[in-house]
Amino acid sequence: MPVHGNADVRAFFDLHAADYAEQHGHPARLLAERLALVRREARLAPDDVVLDVGCGHGHHLLALAPEIARGIGVDLSPAMIEVARARLAASPWGGRLRFEAGDAASLEGVVAADSIDLALCIGALEHMLDKRAALASVHRVLRAGGRFFCLTPSGDYVWYRTLAPLLGFATKHLSTDVFLTRDALTTLLARAGFDRIRTGPWTFIPRGDMPRSIARWLGGLDTLGRIAGLRALRGGLWVCASKA
């Protein structure tokens, strides 16, 4: 979809909010894998106040609600927030979570400065038009020592860098999507004021964007990448950074 500004991004996710579904594998299994990474690498704690930037339907926060003190989900799409609020109303966590429509690049009026212990951004950074502003905004709302944890497709992935262009497969849902390399993302985080930046690969295969035969083949490459430590064969990039 061609994008000329935030209004186009908002319209895209508003359009798909009602029927938005996991495209890249079994939803419950992928959710469990992502949350395991959050618990392990972001060191989730019971007294954490957690912000989920680009929260979508709110599925990550709703799943983490029993393990945290409070949570705030923010998404550019009001329709996505409506779905998240409906899911929250049907859950036992109404007093612990809230969901608000807002732009990650400017969280003022939505999230107070120095109020968040852990900020999450899962599968959303690649769609954000002003990544520098979004990271600066997240840095502002974190408490000193607060953590930022992000899961995103890796710009170093052999599928995005070599195979998809060679085979003629489109890899972007929005014309402005950018899959950052590890070096590019760590540079952006450092410029936003973050330190203690750690990164690693995670299993992400964009199954919804390719035939099953290719997805199975990339799954084999992912296994090889895990065994041999070859990051280029792993589709996902995780990063955890702290506010000094």
What DSSP character marks residue 106? B
H helix or E strand, kind and range, residue 27: helix 27-41
Q: What is the DSSP string of 30-80?
A: HHHHHHHHHHHHTT--TT-EEEEET-TT-HHHHHHGGGSSEEEEEES-HHH
**What pTM does this model have?**
0.95
pLDDT recorded at residue 82: 98
Domain assignments of the chain as residue spans, ordered by start: 6-243
Please give the chain's pLDDT, 244 residues, in tens. 888 899 999 999 999 898 887 778 788 999 999 999 999 999 999 999 999 999 999 999 999 999 999 999 999 999 999 999 999 999 999 999 999 999 999 998 999 999 999 999 999 999 999 999 999 999 999 999 999 999 999 999 999 999 999 999 999 999 999 999 999 999 999 999 999 999 999 999 999 889 999 999 999 999 999 999 999 999 999 999 999 8
CATH of domain 6-243: 3.40.50.150
Q: Is 124 helix (H, G, I), strand (E, B) or coil?
A: coil
pLDDT at 180: 97
Q: CA–CA distance from 185 to each of 56, 178, 195 (Å)?
A: 22, 11, 12
CA distance 94 to 97: 6
